[in-house]
Chains A and B, each alone.
Chain A
Amino acid sequence: MKELQNSLGAYLKLHWKTAVFLVVLLLGIGLADQFVDSYMRRILNLCAIYVIVSLAMNLVNGFTGQFSLGQAGFMAIGAYTVAVFTVPIESRAAIFYLEPMAPFLANIQLPFIVALILGGLVTAVVAFFIGYPCLRLRGDYLAIATLGFSEIIRIVFTNTQSITNGALGIKSIPTISSLWWTFGIALIIIIATVLLINSTYGRAFKSIREDEIAAEAMGVGLFKTKMTSFLIGAFFTGIGGGLFAALLGTVDPKQFYFTLTYNFLLIIVLGGMGSISGTVIASFVVTLGQEALRFLDEPMAFGLDLPIFRPGLRMVVFSFLLMVIVLFYRKGLMGTNELTWDFMAEKYRALKKRLGGKKTATEGGAKK
């Protein structure tokens, strides 16, 4: 016991900033959970889910260097698992009115957390069968196969009437509204990913991204390592999908078009392929940004009837802003860097130096 106390003490001494940050973060979530309105709550929940799924995608695409585009399909599996297993049994007859639910499922109802983890596991199992043939090949085969898979899943779910209720979707899923579910799980997954990336497995992932031939020559089993990364990514994505279903309270196949995948691709490219903190930041930037620009879609913005403020302008402006960001940050906001305390201190010093230099040259330079 004493030993544990000592090691904990040593850990806190070394990472006190992180510990303080975590405490502040948890307090922040707690406060937000008490005081934000339902609109903001919905957006924040969505941010957290996007963090989970993007992080999973970055693990495979950014860290392991395997181009996978199956996010929407994997999310669909997680979402439908949660939907099928958590919808109250008494309301199932009303939902499945075209064709009753398959008898082997009709009377099973699981607690949310069990269904959520099951969703992750089912996703990982499906990912195994996609990865098994595809991860042996080099190049873009995985991208094509996962993209195709994602569409197949959507079409399968549209047609398995007695399990997924087809195109009608499943409604009345018990919803979660507390921020703790999404942010709690997002936090756990962020920490797990950080620990994974900084372990020997994380380095093996990165070595494959850098140079497959050298990685293999150094004893890193390509197939096994790629598969590990792919399955962990799929598991997290399934969890993200499950939370998504529970947030919206309804799932239907149209939510899982492959355009959903591009949202996550956008986030990881914007945040930096191979940066955990970049992914987290970009998830918030993209999700909040899309909401913040919503006024552009309204014809009566600023009380004037401006001719260009029409539905659709939001995405034009949003896409333009993305192009600008990508032009100035070639490798995404963070590149492969992480937002560590050291990194921030370094940036701060660099900024101070630059400002200090400017100050002597021109007087007004200190402002920025």
Chain B
Amino acid sequence: MSLLKTENVIMQFGGVVAVNDLNIDIKKGELAALIGPNGAGKTTAFNVITGVYTPTSGKVLITPTDSDGNRGEIDITGKKPDKITGLGVARTFQNIRLFKELSVMENVQVATHLNADYSFLSAILRAPKARKGEKQAKAECEFLLERLGLIDLRNEKASSLPYGQQRHLEIARALATKPQLLLLDEPAAGMNPQETDELTDLIFKLKTDFGLTIFMIEHHMDLVMEISDHIYVLDFGCTIAKGTPDEIQNNPKVIEAYLGVDADVED
């Protein structure tokens, strides 16, 4: 059963075709990766899925499970990012986009706003419903911060955190929206091998504990090959390969894209 599907998605900026005929099919509960050389259109693909860009043509479909346990396919092409997040698709950003002046706790709390079912008037008047909602959201946020090892830093400004923890905070914030599909845009960028190992474990654990489906862009090949179920390879906007890690590693086209044409050399 697929959770995310894109059908012939094309994203053009003037004469530049950033994403050309993207067909992705991600099953519920799997961990898929999107790889490719710099400028291949990976982040653009993410931006199309999350509604930052409306594709020039093609369709983005998701099949989330609603609160009653029913599933139905929803066309999210061209929907606003906040609506798409509301349907269970959360993301992190390649060049960290935290709310810098807000505290760590507030950063996560912002992401619970979409589940707030009370009006601003009851929020001002601190009506019982608003109190209950705030309390519950706070508990959820604390749980997430605990889970990602940030609970002791909850009152720090987000911009004062070290780089690695800012990345963790981005993940915590995305999880606070209660996603079913989590898009991670280069979660291990700028991390050393040890940190990358830890992150690999963390992503895998989060996936099982929260019942997530994960789609991630990543350049660290050990990470990708270790935990992905499926890999999509982009080059100049086109999908040049898709398959399991083993298939991708031995695909001549992929080797060519990464290493150049005369690729006889071992990795």
**Interface residues, chain A, with chain B CB atoms under 8 Å away:** 192, 195-196, 199-201, 203-204, 206-207, 210-211, 213-222, 228, 232, 274, 336
Contacts and interface: CB of A to CB of B under 8 A. Distances in A.
Contact of A200 (B97, B102, B123): B123
B102 A201 contact: no
A336 B101 CA distance: 9
A222 B109 CA distance: 17
B99 A217 contact: no
22 contacts: A199-B130, A200-B134, A200-B137, A203-B102, A203-B113, A206-B110, A207-B99, A211-B98, A214-B93, A214-B98, A215-B110, A216-B80, A216-B82, A217-B52, A218-B82, A218-B110, A218-B174, A219-B113, A220-B113, A220-B114, A221-B82, A222-B82
Given A211-B97, A217-B50, A203 B109 contact: yes
B37 interface: no
A206 B157 CA distance: 13
Given A210-B99, A214-B93, A220 B120 contact: no
Interface in B140-191: 173-174, 176-177
A215 B82 CA distance: 8
B109 A211 contact: no
A274 B101 CA distance: 11
B120 A232 contact: yes
Nearest to A192: B124
B106 A206 contact: yes
B177 A201 contact: no
A200 B133 contact: yes
B81 A216 contact: yes
Given A203-B106, A219-B114, A210 B100 contact: yes
Given A213-B97, A214-B99, A219-B111, 4 more contacts: A199-B134, A210-B100, A214-B93, A216-B82
B102 A210 contact: yes
Nearest to B137: A200
Contact of A220 (B52, B110, B134): B110
B86 interface: yes
Interface string B200-226: 000000000000000000000000000
Interface residues of B, number: 38
Interface in B83-104: 83, 85-86, 90-91, 93, 97-102
B252 to A, nearest CB: 37
Interface in B50-84: 50, 52, 80-83
Given A214-B97, A217-B50, A200 B112 contact: yes
A199 B124 contact: yes
Given A217-B81, A218-B85, A200 B109 contact: yes
B126 interface: yes
A172 B198 CA distance: 75
A336 B83 CA distance: 30
A118 B80 CA distance: 35
B129 to A, nearest CB: 12
Contacts of B110: 203-204, 206-207, 215, 218, 220
Contact of B120 (A196, A213, A216): A196
B50 to A, nearest CB: 6
Shortest 5 CB-CB contacts between residues of A and residues of B: A219-B114, A210-B99, A199-B123, A219-B85, A214-B97
Contacts of A211: 97-100
B259 interface: no
B116 interface: yes
A119 B91 CA distance: 43
Nearest to B133: A200
A282 to B, nearest CB: 19
B166 to A, nearest CB: 12
A228 B124 CA distance: 13
